[in-house]
Structure 1
């Protein structure tokens, strides 16, 4: 453990062993944050983009193994064309501007979601970040962009079915581990903690397979107001829970 990580954990006030291995976040509330300030929705998205780096850096310094950020769902294409255009421009700028953070914090970047439909400029910057950080060994950061869990599971099933049809595997070999290995988060542990900002009490087609036993933490705070201190409070709450995985509570 490096000095920065030890210092961060000490400030957090919980044992390192009590931290989650993988934190997933539904970054919600940008539009409502803007509306509450009589601002255009685009300003909310810009504010939300500025909020992400401190959270990623904090997770990295704490030694958390993986983080997945739900940024743009497959359903979000139904939003107004102008708003989608603003978001795609923001992604292009964000992916470039955050390279020093990824490099300085030894973060490995991965794209989670479908490539089809994303503008070429966004795909280019996604691929560049994946390439530049491929050898990093710290936090694995999945950016869920053009992502839907049902589509992800469907693609995994199609991949397995194709291998079965070609004789590369038998139906007896199809188990949970095989399905997990065909998902976009393969190689990372399943999320232990799912955080949703803005108070909405739903999953929104996010990591449906992977969050089977994740602890849920919902806060009314909008994403642009979600600080590292809010993140740390979620981690403290997680550390205080007794995880039973379907077992009866021990006496």
Structure 2
């Protein structure tokens, strides 16, 4: 009880130091397996604890007015894990996605679900759950939850380049038509709303961005915040600290522009 009160006060103090709220936060949810090992749990239990924490984080984001959250849910490299772990993850994703269309919070706050990644790499039942969630929320535009599934930054760039080269070959576009906007359109498609990333958060004490959203993050010099807690142990305090880093960076930019 006392610890909860102290954390609440600390959250308030940090929030008072924040002058800028990022519009798009991308999160690398690392540490589910290490959390499970630390607690003596099965790996699947660690992933489920991480999924439960994700729901809490989305509520915090909504409270803070963060319109876009992109989660690095499952990378192309994750396919190298054991068949059992991959299947458990896909079952968990399908379960969570199936609840979205009936989740009152999604409809109350107008949250749109979008997927980025290689859909062809997903099993048919999971792909169907994704499409159902997207269809059920396609008319919302207050907040966006973007799930990076079967996602890899290099794979994303290669697929977009291949699409553009194919369009040139078929005389749909000319070489001179290639622009940053055209490239971005081929990354995610016309129906996906995905603005530049303001802030990347990575949990689990890993100091790398793992090629996550290179076009929207690295290309726009997003702020990066690495923190020690495993994803299931990520707290609102940690999120506020990350936002404070972004806010301080924005204040520094503003001062530099004023001096210029």
- The alignment's TM-score, normalised by the length of structure 1, stands at 0.88
Gaps of 5+ in 2: 1-10
TM-aligned CA deviation for residue 249 of structure 1: 9.9
Q: Which of 47, 58, 61 is the aligned partner of 2:60?
A: 58
Is 2:190 aligned against 1:208?
Answer: no
* Contact in 2 for aligned 1:109/1:133 (Cα 8 Å): yes
Q: Which residue does the alignment assign to 1:4?
A: none
1:143-201 residue CA offsets vs partner (Å, 9 max, x unmatched): 01111111111111111112222222221221222211221285321101000001111
Q: Which residue does the alignment assign to 1:110?
A: 114
The SS at the match of 1:151 is helix
Query: CA RMSD, aligned part only?
Result: 2.5
Change (3 A) 1:249 1:196: farther
TM-aligned CA deviation for residue 80 of structure 1: 1.0
Gaps of 5+ in 1: 1-7
Aligned partners of 1:113, 1:249: CA distance in 2, in Å? 40
* Contact in 2 for aligned 1:9/1:15 (Cα 8 Å): no
Higher helix share goes to which structure? 2
- The alignment's TM-score, normalised by the length of structure 2, stands at 0.85
Structure 1 segments, 4+ long, off by >6 Å, are 8-11
Q: Which residue does the alignment assign to 1:180?
A: 184
TM-aligned CA deviation for residue 138 of structure 1: 1.0
The SS at the match of 1:69 is strand
Is 2:245 aligned against 1:237?
Answer: yes
* Contact in 1 for aligned 2:115/2:148 (Cα 8 Å): yes
Q: Which residue does the alignment assign to 1:3?
A: none
Paired residues, what number?
Answer: 242
* Contact in 2 for aligned 1:149/1:208 (Cα 8 Å): yes
Aligned partners of 1:231, 1:81: CA distance in 2, in Å? 33
Aligned partners of 2:12, 2:215: CA distance in 1, in Å? 30
Q: Which residue does the alignment assign to 1:67?
A: 69
